[in-house]
Amino acid sequence: MKIIKRLKEEIEFIKNNDPAARNSVEILLLYPGFHAILLHRISHFLWSKNFKFLARFISYLTRIFTGIEIHPGAKIGRKVFIDHGSGVVIGETSEIGDEVIIYHGVTLGAIKPCKGDRHPKIGNRVIIGAGAKIIGPVKIGDGSKISSGAIVIKNVPENSVVLSAPGRIITARERELYPFSLTYEDLLNINKKIEELENKIDKILKKMEVKDEV
């Protein structure tokens, strides 16, 4: 019963965070991210019981069938959704909290090939955008958002937004100007502000030209 409850939790979390998810059966049968997490839980259990080869074999098969590579040693919390999933790589000493969303092309990797703690620690309720690279034993605070394509090599405080490559933590003012998810209306507003600024600059330049002529 506990396993069924956990499965329902995972499926419900996906439904709540993916507008394309139409029903539970579709998620259960057709979502590679869901399959990868499910198989990882099995491989991680085997890894913890010292069945290393079998755990790695399941991880290898998971990569072949889903395009998602999760080392069996990685620790993953509850309600983790890997959306699309293709190209996701999660290293051995990675730790992922609860209610985390990971998009395709994400890497939780190491800076150099050494033993010991070398992979990221992701907090709860974190969103990691497509193609983001989080490298080394850095900590991503609860509620943070890592934008698509960001490269993160330093710790990120709670409830932060990280943009660009290499990634940097943006200020509250910048967050207002550049929200994590821009809508079409946001883009129109940005273009409108740019046009207004250009018009102001043109007026200033014309005034300067008049003064020079005088």
Q: Given this model, what pLDDT does residue 178 score? A: 58
- What does 14-30 look like in DSSP terms, one character per residue? HHHH-TT---HHHHHHH
Please check the confidence at residue 152 and state whether its pLDDT lies above 80. yes
Please check the confidence at residue 155 and state whether its pLDDT lies above 60. yes
Do residues 94 and 191 share a domain? no
Q: Total structural domains in the chain?
A: 2
Q: Is 78 exposed, middle or buried (0-12, 13-18, 19+ CB in 10 A)?
A: middle
Please check the confidence at residue 78 and state whether its pLDDT lies above 70. yes
Do residues 100 and 191 share a domain? no
Most distant CA pair in the chain, distance: 87
Q: State which residues form the domain around 191.
A: 182-214
Reported as a single tens digit per residue, the pLDDT across 90-125 is 999 999 999 999 999 999 999 877 788 999 999 999
Q: Given this model, what pLDDT does residue 177 score? A: 61
Q: Given this model, what pLDDT does residue 157 score? A: 93
Do residues 84 and 190 share a domain? no
Do residues 56 and 79 share a domain? yes
Tokens linked to 105: 């092309």
Do residues 53 and 118 share a domain? yes
Percent of the chain whose pLDDT exceeds 70: 84
Reported as a single tens digit per residue, the pLDDT across 163-208 is 866 666 666 666 666 555 555 566 567 667 777 888 888 888 777 7
Which of 1-5, 30-34, 93-97 has the lowest average pLDDT? 1-5
